[in-house]
């Protein structure tokens, strides 16, 4: 685990010279992270829980940092980015083949003769040896592919979703194994930061649903501390409440309602939530092209419906306060 901690450090060139190791590039780091995700995917839940509980605090923090790094490295980049990388790989492969062919065939090859005939504008001189190339597009009677197959964007999206669910499962295992320990609050706080940063990256609808469920669980475990200005919980939730995707918006609204409800039950600390919602909304308006005011109004109406039909808090001032906060937010 200590080896992965080096991703977040900044080693100098002297360190690499002394150890004889070359610096890690992005592709090598991504492959190492994928190996770690593969190990987590096929490890049992009991072994992961035991590992998280027995790790010292610095190693546990490094493990959370590794999960955060994996969310960033294995993020789905989109169809255009995948096709762009595939085209670059095809061009690189073609260049390597051409260079290798020149080295093997040399200057007196059929390819060189063909180029010379083209430059001369006619056929070669009388008595010259006619050399022909084999047809590379035919391999044993069938036509070969002109370029290597490009990775399908759908497969890349499925791989990114599977990796995200594996990381989320590992994170939940760590939280459950450490929640009853002395370091439970710090682990939950670090896990919440990891999930919030993951929510700001490209995720599928299925992954978002599971992430919002994890956020609701962490809200109940952390209490009032999860709504601090430094955590940005309200800002991330409001950003997804203003999203165009209906399922993601519904789960974000449910998580924001859980945040409001839990803070009210902690001791009528609802004013703190209202302040955070107002400040977060002011920082989001006009900063993103995907921010939809109509979607935000729908999400806030959903929160209002939750408050009106909450039987446990029906006889309290909570529905009225939620209604007032909703009206204030929609008229912002």
pLDDT in tens, 291-305: 788 888 899 899 999
Q: How confident is the model at residue 265 (pLDDT cuts 50, 70, 90)?
A: confident
Cα-atom radius of gyration of the chain, to the nearest Å?
29
Q: What percent of the chain is modeled with pLDDT above 70?
A: 64
Flag whether 108 is in a domain. no
Q: Let me know how long the chain is.
A: 332
pLDDT score recorded for residue 2: 47
Mean pLDDT computed over 310-322: 86
The residues facing 143 across adjacent strands are 138
Flag whether 164 is in a domain. yes
Flag whether 213 is in a domain. yes
* Predicted confidence (pLDDT) at residue 85 exceeds the cutoff of 60: no
Flag whether 161 is in a domain. yes
Flag whether 10 is in a domain. no
Total count of domains within the chain:
1
In which residue are the tokens 């492969």 written?
93
Tell me the pLDDT of the chain averaged across its residues.
77
pLDDT score recorded for residue 124: 45
Q: How confident is the model at residue 314 (pLDDT cuts 50, 70, 90)?
A: confident
Please give the helix or strand (H or E) that residue 116 lies within, else none: helix 110-120
Contact 68, 192 (CB under 8 A): no
Return the higher-pLDDT residue of 137 and 311. 311
Return the higher-pLDDT residue of 194 and 16. 194
Flag whether 131 is in a domain. no
Flag whether 37 is in a domain. yes
Full residue range of the structural domain in which residue 59 is found: 24-78+152-330
The residues facing 139 across adjacent strands are 142
Flag whether 13 is in a domain. no
Q: How far is CA 19 from CA 12, 13, 14, 30, 32, in A?
A: 11, 10, 9, 22, 19
């Amino acid at each position: 685990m200590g080896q992965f901690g080096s991703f977040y450090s900044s080693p100098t060139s002297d360190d690499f010279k002394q150890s004889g190791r070359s610096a890690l590039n992005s592709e090598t780091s991504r492959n190492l992270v994928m190996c770690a995700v593969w190990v987590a995917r096929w490890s049992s839940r009991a072994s992961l829980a035991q590992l998280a509980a027995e790790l010292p605090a610095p190693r546990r923090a490094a493990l959370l940092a590794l999960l955060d790094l994996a969310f960033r490295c294995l993020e789905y980049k989109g169809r255009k980015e995948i096709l762009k990388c595939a085209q670059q790989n095809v061009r690189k492969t073609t260049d390597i083949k051409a260079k290798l062919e020149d080295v093997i065939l040399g200057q007196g090859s059929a390819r060189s003769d063909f180029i010379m005939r083209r430059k001369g504008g006619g056929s070669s001189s009388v008595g010259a040896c006619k050399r022909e190339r084999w047809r590379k597009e035919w391999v044993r009677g069938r036509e070969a592919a002109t370029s290597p197959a490009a990775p399908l964007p759908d497969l890349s999206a499925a791989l990114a979703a599977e990796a995200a669910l594996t990381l989320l499962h590992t994170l939940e295992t760590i939280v459950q194994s450490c929640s009853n320990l002395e370091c439970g609050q710090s682990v939950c706080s670090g896990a919440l930061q990891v999930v919030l940063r993951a929510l700001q990256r490209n995720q599928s609808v299925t992954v978002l649903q599971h992430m919002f469920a994890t956020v609701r669980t962490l809200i109940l475990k952390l209490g009032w501390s999860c709504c601090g200005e430094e955590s940005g919980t309200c800002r991330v939730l409001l950003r997804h409440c203003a999203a165009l995707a209906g399922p993601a918006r519904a789960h974000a609204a449910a998580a924001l309602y859980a945040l409001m409800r839990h803070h009210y039950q902690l001791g009528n600390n609802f004013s703190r939530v209202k302040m955070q919602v107002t400040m977060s909304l002011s920082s989001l308006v006009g900063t993103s092209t995907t921010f939809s005011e109509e979607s935000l109004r729908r999400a806030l109406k959903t929160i209002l419906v939750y408050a009106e039909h909450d039987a446990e808090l029906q006889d309290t001032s909570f529905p009225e306060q939620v209604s007032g906060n909703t009206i204030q937010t929609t008229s912002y």
